[in-house]
Amino acid sequence: MANRNEFKTGNWSEAIDVRNFVQLNLTPYEGDASFLCGASERTKKVWDACVEALKEERDNGGVRSIDNILVSTITSHKAGYIDQENETVVGLQTDAVLRRSMKPLGGVKVVEKALAENGLEMESHTRDIFNYRKTHNDGVFDVYTDEIRTYRSLGFLTGLPDNYARGRVIGDYRRMALYGTARLIEAKKADLAAISGPMSEETIRLREEVSEQIKALKEITLMGSYYGCDLSRPAETAQEAVQWVYLAYLAAIKEQDGAAMSFGNTSSFLDIYINRDLEAGLITEEYAQELIDQLVIKLRMVRHLRMSSYNEIFAGDPTWVTESIGGTFNDGRTKVTKTSFRFLQTLYNLGPSPEPNMTVLWSNALPEGFKNFCAQVSIDTSSVQYENDDLMRTTRHSDDYGIACCVSFQEIGKHIQFFGARCNLAKALLLALNGGRCENTGKLVVKGIPALSSDTLDYEEVMTNYRKVLKDMARVYNDSMNIIHYMHDKYYYERAQMALVDTNPHINLAYGVAGLSITADSLSAIKYATVKCKRNEEGLSTGFDIDGDYPCYGNDDDRADSIAVEVTNFMNAELKKLPVYKNAEPTLSVLTITSNVMYGKKTGATPDGREKGVAFAPGANPMHGRDKNGAIASLSSVSKINYTSALDGVSNTFSIVPRSLGHNDEERCENLISMMDGYFSKNAHHLNVNVLNREMLKDAMENPEKYPQLTIRVSGYAVNFVKLSREHQLEVLSRSFFEKM
Amino acid sequence: MLRVHSYESMGTHDGPGLRLVVFVQGCRFNCLYCANPDTISTTGGKNTSIEEIVAMAKSQKAFFGKKGGVTISGGEPTLQAAELIKLFKALKAEGINTCLDTNGNNMNEEVRELLEYTDIVLLDVKHMNPEQHKYITGRSNDNTFKFADYLKEKNIKTWLRYVLVPGLSDQEEALIALGEHFKDFNNIERLEILPYHTLGKHKYEVLNKPYKLENVPSNTEEQLERAQNMLKPYFKYVQVN
């Protein structure tokens, strides 16, 4: 057994400080991918069993089986296995693989609906509990005001986490391996003792939370014992380190069904243990790869029980097990290790997959060998997204962070995030043209918005109204967030994850906007062309006549791009003025997930010429077909959105056919690297990279059985293409694929 | 002012690396297979200031990497050589690599000056046989050969390009003549074989022009490979584009 004392000691030895441990003990790797191994025999056997289970899940309409009796908690389900004798890393959410469980504390009706859609009912004794026990969803709707309900039901605020768990908290799962629960409990007990009177509401709440965290740590220890793992002590080997980290994560996903429950930045941490055991001759490279392959298999099998309507906002049954790979230390050393490569290698060993959501923290200073491998993996699998490490590290002042969900910075163990879904900027613009009334229903949403003086739209007049609308939308949005997060803490607190985060962490509130490109193009049309509003008998806008040319966002033309920048800055500034529950810091994302389709459906015709109901472009993408100057001009436009005004992230999804990247593999890799270096050096934040042929996607729509693992990057995450609804598939096909004649 | 037809900001097939390709309006050739017939007319296009194009190139410079830059294609760029001198001078001042895609038909004082600011030339040779060249383009190939000689004399880095059209320009003797003629040009770094494609065909319908190669098929993989093998002995590098 290797000795813990072989690690370089430092502050981590005395206090809970994983970053310090990583800094002192990491071995950066500057070489290429030639050392990597294929899947071991054991891994192949376990994965084959999963492939079989995944097929059953697909054939059964997307859900393999459901436990309708036990409410899932950290300790509810005893040990479950896929193929026990071949599993190097163990642990399932329930007793069987892909078997979903009930987590009703977000909202019991939601779980009942999901069960009913699958032909099941909640077992009666279990259902009976919720005749006495209130849930998050009940709490929120007890408090919601009429105006929040109006904004919500008409589609100005959508996807709010008021009937599902908010997610977005990343536990520092590394702490389990480095310290074990005994030491962690000791630290939390010391924290609790230090939280003393006077007993304000805030202090009382914090003491209760820390007490809950301590209980969760004890339950995690018990859960570990089901699998024969003594989690009370630190991990001693590479295998234990991987196992301990995974079990900590497993506890979180047994207790919570947050929309996005991300994994953090574990790869370089785990490399320290793997590297040590390799150097000591205790394990081989094949075994090192097996550990990561088998961890990744487990992360691919994470499931939550969802209602089918959830699919509208988050298509393809995603879980956002986001793992952040690479990056740089503040002192300039790379954080790339051999295990960074090993994580990406799983996409070859097991085939492409949307989960875990592989996110490379890109820096111009990344070693060339790693850049090359990333580019190759992107070209071969379209399963990787990239985020600007240089930008985040310097703006957010931390080199120990992960990505929560799709694009959101989170300092691991120090920050958490309150998820805030998004508001519809384009629909809000129509309020400005309709005297504050909803364009579809005529219902008055914002008071005090004057009718326009003419149907020929005047830019300044429209902007004056629009600013008033946005200000009001920010106010109502903020109210809804405060209610939701208060209730989530009260009824569905993330005990297991918060036990692995510092007591009283910094909180970012993640607001979001949808429809940015539609809004920018509409305002540009009003400013640079002549736009006439057509109205129905009720005086509501139904369409627009555009006379003349106008610049569109996405062509590296400042006239249009600056409007997108300005709207983002304005909305962010309005939100920042409003105080948030638990003193959270307001941040904003330009991200839609797949809700751009649903947002479009709810939005009438817009002054850019878009017709009623047509899908928006995703995230911060320019509208499909309007970026006429090619990919680089489009990327340049997106890079202009200020990260400091959108600290929760600016998502961009890029699709290109292989030929357009270059003649051969070598050129394609080289050009993709040039492109990403260029994009991120212009302070752009995020990029999904798809290298795909449109024909392949069309074929996959018709013959899904041929493409069970076809993965594409959507807005900030990846999905199995064949799991998308036809409507979402068609929307993906309509997007700008950069092709060349 | 430059008459611009359109842009492709992610050019990966018109010169080295990632390039901003500016397609200019106007050409005196009238190639049977032209894929951009809408760029032939010398009227049309959008009058664009040199400053605007330089600003675009500067904004996109970060993407060019070590090899990329700006390519002027068309249309035939040398018809607007006087304006291009200003553009290329400004791009060189910004440290941006310049590439000129030309049929080599025009040579004059202005073109000679333009070449002083050109890092690399893509020289399109349509056919080696004068009659066949005239049949394809409507003009003789004399000027193109003189242009090539000038590039050799000035030792300007050149990629030779040859559109391979089944039955029209893929005759064995034509390919051998191409190799024999250029084999000693040390300034030529590579030969690019451009496979004939019909992707520009729909543009003829829009322009109400007859498409003259109605029954000509695209190249087969075998035809491309055969041409590549035939030309390999003559050039440092042969690329099917």
Interface of B with A in 93-112 (CB under 8 A): none
- Three-class secondary structure of residue A446 per DSSP: coil
- Contacts of residue A491, defined as CB under 8 A and 6 or more positions apart, other chains included, come to A105, A134, A135, A136, A138, A139
> What pTM does this model have?
0.95
Rounded mean pLDDT, A62-90:
97
Cα gap A465→A569, rounded to integer Å:
17
**Is-contact A480 A512, C-beta < 8 A?**
no
Kindly calculate the radius of gyration of chain A based on its CA atoms and give it in whole angstroms: 25
Omega before residue A586 within 30° of 0, cis? no
pLDDT at A2 over 70: no
Q: A65: closest CA among A301, A226, A250, A223?
A: A301
Q: Is B207 on the interface with A (CB under 8 A)?
A: no
Amino acid at B156: I
Amino acid at A530: T
Rounded mean pLDDT, A190-205:
96
Alpha-helical regions (H) of A440-494:
459-491
Nearest CB partner across the interface for B18, out of A556, A632, A636: A632
Model confidence band, residue A101 (pLDDT cutoffs 50, 70, 90):
very high
Burial of A194 (0-12, 13-18, 19+ CB in 10 A): exposed
Q: What is the CATH number of the domain that holds B99?
A: 3.20.20.70
Put residue A564 in one of left, alpha, beta given phi > 0 → left and psi -120 to 50 → alpha: alpha
In order, the DSSP letters of B173-201 are HHHHHHHHHHTT-TTEEEEEEEE---TTH
Burial of B45 (0-12, 13-18, 19+ CB in 10 A): buried
Q: What angle do CA A99, A101, A105 make, to 5 degrees?
A: 165
Cα gap A581→A579, rounded to integer Å:
7
To the nearest whole percent, how much of chain A has pLDDT over 70? 99
If one counts the domains in chain B, the total is 1
pLDDT reported for residue A384:
96
pLDDT reported for residue B201:
80
CA distance B70 to chain A (A): 12
Element (H, E) at B162: strand B158-164
Q: A636: closest CA among B14, B51, B7?
A: B7
pLDDT at A717 over 90: no
Average pLDDT, chain A: 95
CA atoms within 13 A on the CB side of A226: 21
Most distant CA pair in chain A, distance: 81
Residues, chain A:
741
Average pLDDT, chain B: 94
**CB contact (8 A) between residue A630 and residue B17:** no
Element (H, E) at A379: helix A368-381
Burial of A128 (0-12, 13-18, 19+ CB in 10 A): exposed
Give pLDDT tens digits for A395-406. 999 999 999 999
pLDDT at A625 over 90: no
Cα gap A420→A418, rounded to integer Å:
6
pLDDT at A692 over 70: yes
Residue B151: phi, psi to the nearest 5?
-60, -40
CA distance A681 to chain B (A): 7
Rounded mean pLDDT, A150-176:
96
Kindly calculate the radius of gyration of chain B based on its CA atoms and give it in whole angstroms: 17
Model confidence band, residue A5 (pLDDT cutoffs 50, 70, 90):
low
Give pLDDT tens digits for A410-465. 999 999 999 999 999 999 999 999 999 999 999 999 999 999 999 999 999 999 99
Model confidence band, residue A334 (pLDDT cutoffs 50, 70, 90):
very high
Cα gap A203→A124, rounded to integer Å:
38
pLDDT reported for residue A1:
44
Domain that holds residue B75: 2-240
Q: What angle do CA A504, A505, A508 make, to 5 degrees?
A: 130
Rounded mean pLDDT, A187-195:
98
pLDDT at A714 over 80: no
Residue A123: phi, psi to the nearest 5?
-55, 140
Q: Per-residue pLDDT for chain B (241 aa), expressed as one digit of tens each?
A: 999 999 999 999 999 999 999 999 999 999 998 888 899 998 889 999 999 999 999 999 999 999 999 999 989 999 999 999 999 999 999 999 999 999 999 999 999 999 999 999 999 999 999 999 999 999 999 999 999 999 999 999 999 999 999 999 999 999 999 999 999 999 999 999 999 887 778 888 888 888 888 888 889 999 999 999 999 999 999 999 8
Greater model confidence, A725 or A330? A330
Chain A neighbors of B8, CB-CB under 8 A: 629-630, 740
Element (H, E) at B46: strand B46-48
Domains of chain A listed by start with CATH number? 4-133+164-413 (3.20.70.20), 134-163+414-651 (no CATH)
Give pLDDT tens digits for B119-140. 999 999 999 999 999 999 999 9
Interface with A, mutate which of B4, B5, B6, B10 (most A CBs under 10 A): B10
Q: Which chain A residue is nearest to residue B6, measuring alpha carbons?
A: A629
pLDDT reported for residue A710:
87
Chain A neighbors of B200, CB-CB under 8 A: 741
Q: Is A405 a catalytic residue?
A: yes
> ipTM exceeding 0.85?
yes
pLDDT at A563 over 60: yes
Tokens of A7: 């690690």
**Per CB distance under 8 Å, which residues of A are interface residues toward B?**
556, 628-636, 656, 660-663, 667, 670-671, 673-675, 677-679, 681-682, 738, 740-741
Alpha-helical regions (H) of B117-195:
130-137, 142-153, 172-182
Cα gap A66→A737, rounded to integer Å:
39
